[in-house]
Amino acid sequence: MADIMKRLVLSKVEPLNDEERAIFAIAFKNVSGERRAAWRKIYSIERQETDRLDSSGQTMGDGDKDQQQPSMHRLALIRQYKSHIENELTFICTQVGDLMSFDCL
């Protein structure tokens, strides 16, 4: 729906009417809301994994460091995915800002 609204904004010569603006807002609210929910979830997972690594690092001896490697790799993947979500959210927000500055809104 957001893509359709984007095409509508870019194709219109006159400003959007009230109903079209409401649909535009809902479309982008839904798209960004999904990413925000995903970010909150992955952030929570990241914190849990970091806390788990911190607590296990304090109790593990030097010989057990190899056991932390899979967890550190998991944390790196979590952070990579969180960054991906942040980039998507930034793109969506930039897109909305650009469309809002377009004369049709």
Domain extent at residue 78:
38-53+71-99
In a domain, 21, yes or no: no
Q: 23 φ, ψ to 5°? A: -65, -40
Q: 30 φ, ψ to 5°? A: -65, -45
In a domain, 63, yes or no: no
pLDDT score of 104: 57
In a domain, 95, yes or no: yes
Q: How many domains does one find in the chain?
A: 1
pLDDT score of 59: 44
In a domain, 85, yes or no: yes
2 and 25 in contact (C-beta within 8 Å)?
no
In a domain, 66, yes or no: no
**Reported pTM:** 0.79
88: left (phi over 0), alpha (psi -120 to 50) or beta: alpha
Given a cut of 50, the residues of the chain with pLDDT beneath it are 59, 63
